[in-house]
Amino acid sequence: MASVDQSGNVVALSPGQGTIQATVGRWRLTATAPVVVQQAEFTVREGSPLMLSPGELDTLHVIVATQNNRTVNPLVLQWASSDQSVARISLGGASPAVGPGRAILTVSGLLQSKNIDVSVHRVVDKLAVRPRSSTKSKCP
């Protein structure tokens, strides 16, 4: 359900409840504390859909809203892209736009998974203004 490291940091592993016990000092002082681990839904702060330009880079942040918008360490999550030719995703949640199209970025972990739609537009080759501007001045 939970583990405790040498520094006393508690890491939740699965939902449940239990008791943590710590013993310190030469007098072997002992303290106990109840621990309850509950599933908390996460979300991607940037939302969906994500709109990018070719070559643009955006970093996704996973948060737990019910825990005061606590940011989840991206390295404890798994990231994937449905189309690497449109958008890639790094272990840290950085997403570079590669080429035009649509892709789905997926973040998984903590017993859940979320999808983020990504649209990468084409590079603009030419810009036209309509109606065309007049070269003659119409001011009196």
Q: What is the pLDDT of residue 138?
A: 59
CATH 2.60.40.1080 intervals, the chain: 43-120
* Residue 45, number of CB atoms within 10 A of its CB: 13
Average pLDDT of 29-48? 90
Average pLDDT of 64-77? 92
CB 54 within 8 A of CB 33: no
Residue 140 banded pLDDT, cuts 50, 70, 90 = low
Q: What is the pLDDT of residue 53?
A: 93
Average pLDDT of 106-130? 90
Q: What is the pLDDT of residue 62?
A: 96
8-state DSSP, 129: -
Average pLDDT of 80-96? 96
Whether this prediction's pTM lies above 0.85 is answered by no
Sequence-distant (≥ 6) Cβ neighbours of residue 66 within 8 angstroms: 40, 41
Average pLDDT of 60-88? 94
Residue 25 banded pLDDT, cuts 50, 70, 90 = confident
Q: What is the pLDDT of residue 67?
A: 87
Instruction: Lay out the sheet containing 43-44: strands in order across.
Output: 43-44, 62-64, 70-71
Average pLDDT of 38-60? 92
Task: Please give the residue that has the higher pLDDT: either 59 or 135.
Answer: 59
Say which CATH class 43-120 falls into.
mainly beta
